[in-house]
Amino acid sequence: MSFYVLFLVLTAAVLHAFWNLFSKKAKGKAPYIWLIYIVSVVLYLPALLYRIAQGDNIFSGPVLWFSISSAILHVSYFLILQKGYRSGDLSVVYPLARGTGPLFSSVAAILFLHEQLKLKTTIGLFSILAGVLIITGLSFKKENNARIMTGVFWGVLTGLFIAFYTFNDSVAIKTYAISPLIITFVSNVFCTVLLFPFAFSQKDEIRREIKQHKWIIIAVGILSPAAYILVLEALKYAPLTVIAPARETSILLGVFMGSRVLNEEDGKRRIIASALILGGIIALSLN
């Protein structure tokens, strides 16, 4: 992995951890997510117009179909993630989602994109999975697991959709040479369309979100696309089996934020366990 690619991935990881911290505080539903996509479309429109002026085409068949599928997967991901944040701890849902995501997407890349499975990749993936399982803190006492299991369920489901949209968008970038900015922007437009019926039926909720969380909405509307565009840019220069897990360095920051900023329990153990994830990421980066 070159320094340039590493810089893109690590920057994306930091941005991603921060916007998830903001979203955890908001605990928003469909109207909140719809407002985020509205902000993203408005603020990134100048960048899109610049790319069009440079000759990029946003009206091709691949752009349309990959953007639609990406929008469906991203909306599902966002709704599931926010449900997880309303039900569980950031330091459980976030690392589990981000840790299982690369596991699923790397397996998909090996099976469908014919990327080579190396020994270091195998060690890295299992190290990440082991670290995530330790972070969740499951015990053998059933009564202690109720809240944890709720976070585990939504975290794993979120991770599955992370794998789906990462795989979808990596095919668009690598096979059809679609610009990261274009697929992100166009899919965000479709996301606003998909969420409009749900948001429009909750006008009071929209007003409440704007009143209480307008700055969070603006921050997430900027940071979330920026983080993802950086990851897609990195995918142009390195395989998915390396980029997908390496971006999850955000887990370390996310667990730290959950422990220190939100005062969630078991912070020390979850931070220590995240070292296993870091070891897996290092193993993957050596490929």
The pLDDT tens digits for 228-244 are 999 999 988 888 767 87
**Percent of the chain topping pLDDT 70:** 90
Q: What's the pLDDT score for residue 145?
A: 62
Q: What's the pLDDT score for residue 225?
A: 97
Q: Which structure tokens are listed for 31?
A: 């109207």
Q: What's the pLDDT score for residue 20?
A: 94
Q: What's the pLDDT score for residue 137?
A: 61
177: alpha, beta or left? (left if phi > 0; alpha if psi -120 to 50): left
User: In terms of pLDDT, which residue wins out, 222 or 264?
Assistant: 222
Name the pLDDT band for 267 (thresholds 50, 70, 90). low
| DSSP codes of every residue in 136-159 | HT--S-GGG-HHHHHHHHHHHHHH
Name the pLDDT band for 283 (thresholds 50, 70, 90). confident
Q: What's the pLDDT score for residue 200?
A: 87
| Distance (Å) of CA 13 to CA 109, 112, 193 | 21, 26, 28
Neighbours of 49 (CB within 10 A): 10
Identify the DSSP state of 247: G
Average pLDDT over residues 153-158: 90
Q: Could you tell me which of 146, 21, 16, 162 has the C-alpha nearest to residue 87?
A: 146
Q: What's the pLDDT score for residue 268?
A: 72
Q: What's the pLDDT score for residue 257?
A: 86
Q: What's the pLDDT score for residue 214?
A: 96
Q: Does position 141 have pLDDT exceeding 70, yes or no? A: no
| DSSP codes of every residue in 188-242 | HHHHHHHHHHHHHTTHHHHHHHHHHHHHHHHHHHHHHHHHHHHHHHHHTTS-HHH
Do the Cβ atoms of 174 and 235 come closer than 8 Å?
yes
The pLDDT tens digits for 169-204 are 989 998 999 999 999 999 999 999 999 998 989 999
Q: Does position 100 have pLDDT exceeding 90, yes or no? A: no
Average pLDDT over residues 146-170: 85
Of 48-52, 89-93, 173-177, least confident by mean pLDDT is 89-93
Q: Could you tell me which of 238, 225, 247 has the C-alpha nearest to residue 48?
A: 225
Q: What's the pLDDT score for residue 163?
A: 85
Do the Cβ atoms of 96 and 152 come closer than 8 Å?
yes
Identify the DSSP state of 144: G
pTM as predicted: 0.86
* Mean pLDDT of the chain, nearest integer: 86
Q: What's the pLDDT score for residue 140?
A: 46
Of 135-139, 164-168, 187-191, least confident by mean pLDDT is 135-139
Report helix, strand or coil for 286.
coil
Q: What's the pLDDT score for residue 144?
A: 52
Name the pLDDT band for 150 (thresholds 50, 70, 90). confident
Average pLDDT over residues 151-177: 89
Of 42-46, 90-94, 136-140, 281-285, least confident by mean pLDDT is 136-140
Q: Does position 142 have pLDDT exceeding 60, yes or no? A: no
Name the pLDDT band for 138 (thresholds 50, 70, 90). low
With the CA atoms of 200, 205, 209 and 211 taken in that order, what torsion angle do they form, in degrees rounded to the nearest 10? 110
